[in-house]
Amino acid sequence: MKKKLLCMVLSLACMFTLPGCQSTTSGTEDGTTGKTQENKQEEKIKLRYSFWGSTNEKDAITKSCEAFTAQNPNIEVEIIHIPADYEAKLSAMIAGGEEPDLANLRDYFAMPLAESGKLYNILDLIDQDPDIDRKDYLDFAYRYYSPDAAYGLNTATELFAMFYNKKIFENAGVEGLPSSVEDALTMDEFIALAQKLTLDSQGRNAADPDFDPTNIVQYGLMFDFGVQQYMGAVYSNEGSYVSEDGMKWTLNQPQSVEALQTISDLVNVYHVAPNPSELKALPSLAVALQTDKAAMIWAGAWVALDLGLGDTEFDVGVLPVFKEGVYATCPAQGTAGIFKSTQHPEETFKLWKWLMDPGNNIDLYASGLWMPLLTDYYQEKDLLDTWATVAPAHPSGYMGSHVEVVLDGYVAANPSGYVKNYTEINALVTPALESAFLGNESVQEALDRIAPDVEKLLKGRYDK
């Protein structure tokens, strides 16, 4: 009898205290059956990823995220494609506590978020990961919000170059653009070329004394007047946006002004490019090139995706230079940042790594949408051939105008990534420059007019 009683006590104790003795399921207070540990591990996790871009970009990124889910069946990625008013809509999401887990962010928008602790320091996450190292990625790709903290890397290496319509060049009897920095056109040579390629309704080019600038049917050049374009020109003329310590504004200094005035003159003196107002009535840069509205477009690398999907035969060359041997191209703003509010930081970083690794989604690179961040994809031929030589998005000039430019260190920093208070400063600079680009005043006059207000906003640099 004592033995039976002892066995019953031990049995009850085992049931209530020892996990190994318990049943694999247990009842909850409301009478429902709880999940097993195994089921919990297999529970579906949903991550939300937001980005901007064209429909073609959306399709390419969606395909990559579907491949990620195929490799990680318990992680579903909800695509949030916001093609217009991205920052305004994302701000509303953040204000409502609905921010995504992972988001593509422009520098000026991301820096305040990072400083206020809303984004993970990607350096910490990389350092904790045994499979990757900081040096695996291109140095200039890190987006620092302090000397020892970065909120991410560029989504891709998106530098600017000069894409051109080969048929238009052939019809004009001119050679294609040089694809190596050593052979880059001087600005005077480039202007003369753009004049030959600009036609009015009577077929006269912009160098003809009888050319009619009010009836242009084909522009020699089109571009967006963005900071990425104009700062490439400024750097090429050895100008700058702010001083080394970030406490003096230098965009209104002689070297910078000369470059910016040349951009204005392309529109208002040489009539080879549409002004900002005219540009709004024209198709996108890629479509303009494809429909013979423009002979050349000064555009970001991602435009190769849309051009490659069209029927137009195109190529790409390096940008013109102001001073021989001084070349610069400015990267676009776009970085994948991880919000600290995510309930799934480990899985979100896993998605981040997936998107940063061309080997997982080579179509994004072979299609022309992105350029890799991993150094090996520029230095090792077998990896290089998986994207940079793949037609039709990568024509013959791509290696020199993009790959070699990266390897040789010609990618300059975008001021949006290092100037504090950039959003407020840019709110003054953009309309002032637009006034100059519309021909209402000189660049010097426009920038000097806002200089006192800009100086009040200077608070230094993130990278110093």
Delineate the domains of the chain, giving CATH numbers in brackets: 45-157+333-356 (3.40.190.10), 160-330+413-461 (3.40.190.10)
Spatial separation of the C-alpha atoms in residues 448 and 36, rounded to whole Å: 69
* 297, β-bridge pairs: 163, 222
In sequence order, the 6+-apart residues with CB closer than 8 A to the CB of 8 are none
Rounded (10°) CA dihedral 167, 169, 174, 177: -120
How many other CB atoms sit within 10 Å of the CB of residue 285?
23
User: How many CA atoms within 13 Å lie on the side-chain side of 354?
Assistant: 23
Q: Tokens in use for 173?
A: 């009897």
Q: What's the pLDDT at 149?
A: 95
Closest CA to 350 of 81, 137, 45, 105: 45
Where in 307-435 does DSSP place strands (E)?
314-317, 335-338
Q: What's the pLDDT at 42?
A: 65
pLDDT tens, per residue, the chain with 464 residues: 434 333 433 343 333 333 334 333 334 444 443 444 444 456 899 999 999 988 888 998 999 999 999 999 999 999 999 999 999 999 999 999 999 999 999 988 999 999 999 999 999 999 999 999 999 999 999 999 998 999 999 888 889 999 999 999 999 999 999 999 999 999 999 999 999 999 999 999 999 999 999 999 999 999 999 999 999 999 999 999 999 999 999 999 999 999 999 999 999 999 999 999 999 999 999 999 999 999 999 999 999 999 999 999 999 999 999 998 899 999 887 899 999 999 999 999 999 999 999 999 898 899 998 899 999 999 999 999 999 999 999 999 999 999 999 999 999 999 998 999 999 999 999 999 999 999 999 999 999 999 999 999 999 999 88
Amino acid identity of residue 390, one-letter, is V
**What pTM was estimated for this model as a whole?**
0.85
CB of 288 within 8 A of CB of 369? Answer: no
CB of 326 within 8 A of CB of 236? Answer: yes
Q: What's the pLDDT at 224?
A: 94
Q: What's the pLDDT at 11?
A: 40
Residue 226 CA: distances (Å) to CA of 122, 280, 415, 434, 450? 28, 14, 12, 10, 18
CB of 390 within 8 A of CB of 363? Answer: no
